[in-house]
Structure 1
């Protein structure tokens, strides 16, 4: 008796999730860096307050991530996705019309946190695995290739809108696009199939206390410290080392291209060495990259940071999703990935503050040193033992 044919790969749902990822990250996470100076020039508001509100938005989104995961597990993600689109459109629209810093912070916090909770990778990767339970590595790999275009599309698009109009018009357009896209995707995305894995239903969040889950949380927290330092201080570290601002900015932008390259062989690597070893390799590449960052006064060494660190960071996101699909029970995958998003969101916010405090305000050497040590801890924390859940 012949084996039943495997179901076709769900290209359409996974591609729609890729679009959701692009909009989710692009609307505020990537657009903020372009909008910051135009907002400050026009309003005279405190840069510290605006930047702090952006960081707080990330924390709020991370805090709500487990809720998003639970809604996915309960098959209620589509109404939540539509509501996120409405909140985003209203929040950014309100922020674009006000002369009050408090109202601006409130509007962007609501819109940005909603997108961070319901349109980031912990949501889209979970759904991608649900749509393709027999090919989780492939579905996450395809999804993150789509997601790699978020900064490539939204940074120049946002800059073009600002140059054509102003920051207020730009925020209204970005908010409107997010609203229409998320409501449309809530309608277009099909209901995810139920788990095909035969296992006893998990009780509550007890699965997070399993050794594999604990070690994954430790690794995620540690690498989040590294990523936070890199996101905030990479240009500052390179200019402090002696590079011009233009060169440092170019290298920081080129890292995005290297991240895309890092995602291309992910499925091939995971199939050959397993998700745990692949995750260790990505963390090790990040550690090596931030080591180069510390000595980036030489442009060639700075380019080493771009290539090695960028490839590691690019590979990290899909491999984390694949690894999570193997260590968390399938009926609690959403809550598991949401919880890891919360852990990493907190550490991304802590990393830059930690580097600044240890360095007494100077991150020239302290930033790369703290980032390197945290990445090494992440490498050591990943557990290579047999996963809780076998995914075929």
Structure 2
């Protein structure tokens, strides 16, 4: 039997995984932003249909995610991510060859199957399986810092490729990159098998080790902020414009969101070992509805800027919490199962949020969007508080059981 290959260093793991994840998001989620107009002209499709491809991707990914998550726990993230790279290459090739709506839709269905195999929770599951638990959260935060550069890298690269190759050639180049770059990187930097479970068990539990009530709380506490972020980011420039800011000023104010996200993740990187994911989640979810308060003071640039920064900080921290909190609850051996289950309602929320926020902005204006954000944020906060209380109660019960066991042992010796 051949000896197992030695694990790669953590910097190599994060660099390789980060590069492959940037390619994955940049060649799928961010595609319509650059290639949308040319694809629409060539295929005779309206832009709302072009952008609906991303919605199709999330809906299909939501259905596939639970099964993929269980597979990640039993066979390891590397096997799934290698297979997902092949699916991505095939789907992008199909998109490059599309001649109308049928081919375009079929390609996004394929990309939807790829989504849970490669991106999001599976990337974090790969870290959970490769990095010991005490350091896994820090590694996850570092990965979010790397993938936070996706739009900065993907948009200009995509535009440059389109200028030289056309939109079909650009998609073919991305398909080749998944086979020649992402696939080898996943094979190189990830461990070949899933880690042994923390406790004896034949297979990962179907519930990811989380009770039904706790699962519902997780869906609300993690899924609603993600949906708010998706919806609010879509209408952020229009919302600021509705507050009286000129287009250039609205774009400049909205651009504060990105640096605020990165800053929040850097702070978490420094404080992460001292705080639990639950505590960070409580702060981040509390900040989400509070970020709206500056708008109540008026539409001036200083208040609008403070709102954008606070919203960015909340979003940046929640990205880390969505990765780290399931690890605290389920451990590395149940991480894929739990995050796969959470992805089903989570992706549905994300798919529904952009049209919901756009409709509210159109009918009720900035005040309506602010009210919706506060409402959903308060529901998420209530769920996070309930989740934190249940964990504290569980910790007290375990502590009491431990004291009782030690007392019984001393009594038996006496």
Distance (whole Å) between structure 1 residues aligned to residue 344 and residue 292 of structure 2: 24
Do 2:285 and 2:380's aligned partners in 1 also have CA atoms closer than 8 Å?
yes
Superposed, which structure 2 residues align to 1:214-233 within 5 Å? 214-233=216-235
- Alignment partner of 1:260 is 2:262: yes
1:138 Cα shift?
1.8
Q: Could you list the per-position Cα deviations for residues 239-296 of structure 1 after superposition, in whole angstroms to 9, with x for gaps in the alignment?
A: 2222233333343344222211111121433333321120121222333334556888
Deviation at 1:322, TM superposition (A): 1.4
Is this contact kept in 2: 1:84–1:182, CA < 8 A? no
Q: Which has the larger radius of gyration?
A: 2
TM-score in terms of structure 1 length:
0.87
1:121 and 2:120 matched: yes
Map of 1:250-329 to 2, 5 A cutoff? 250-292=252-294, 297-329=299-331
Q: Which runs of 5+ in 1 are unaligned?
A: 1-6
Question: Residues 291 and 158 (structure 1 numbering): CA distance in 2 closer, same or farther, change over 3 Å?
Answer: farther
Q: Is the 8 A contact 2:59 2:351 kept in 1?
A: yes
Conserved? CA contact 2:195–2:332, under 8 Å = no
What is the match of residue 380 of structure 2?
378
1:29 to partner: Cα distance: 1.1
**Partner Cα separation in structure 1 for residue 146 and residue 288 of structure 2:** 22
The equivalent of 1:13 in structure 2 is 13
TM-score (norm 2): 0.82
Once superposed, what is the RMSD of the aligned Cα atoms?
2.9
Unaligned runs of 5+ in 2: 1-6, 399-414
Displacement of 1:357 in angstroms is: 5.2
CA distance 1:158–1:270, change in 2 (3 Å): same
| Separation in 1, partners of 2:53, 2:157 | 23
- Structure 1's consecutive aligned runs of 4 or more residues displaced over 4 angstroms after TM superposition are 199-202, 290-297, 356-363, 387-390
Deviation of 1:16 (Å): 2.2
| Gap change, CA 1:200 and 1:132, over 3 Å in 2 | same
> What is the number of equivalent residue pairs in this alignment?
383
The equivalent of 1:350 in structure 2 is 352
Aligned equivalents of 1:100 and 1:384: distance in 2?
Answer: 50
Are the counterparts in 1 of residues 75 and 193 from structure 2 also a CA contact under 8 Å?
yes
Other-structure match for 1:160: 160
Deviation at 1:33, TM superposition (A): 1.6
1:264 aligns to what SS in structure 2?
helix
Task: Answer with 381-390 or 128-137: which moved more.
Answer: 381-390
1:319 Cα deviation from its structure 2 partner: 2.0
Quick one: which of 223, 246, 264 aligns to 1:244?
A: 246
Give the alignment partner of residue 331 of structure 1, picking from 317, 330, 333: 333
CA separation of 1:338 and 1:206: change in aligned 2, threshold 3 A: closer
Residue of structure 2 in register with 1:95 after alignment: 95
When residues 93 and 360 of structure 1 are mapped into structure 2, their CA distance, relative to the original with a 3 A threshold, is same
- Counterparts of 1:41-120 in structure 2 under 5 Å? 41-111=41-111, 113-120=112-119
Q: What is the CA-CA distance between 1:181 and the residue it aligns to? A: 2.6
**What's the counterpart of residue 401 of structure 2?**
none
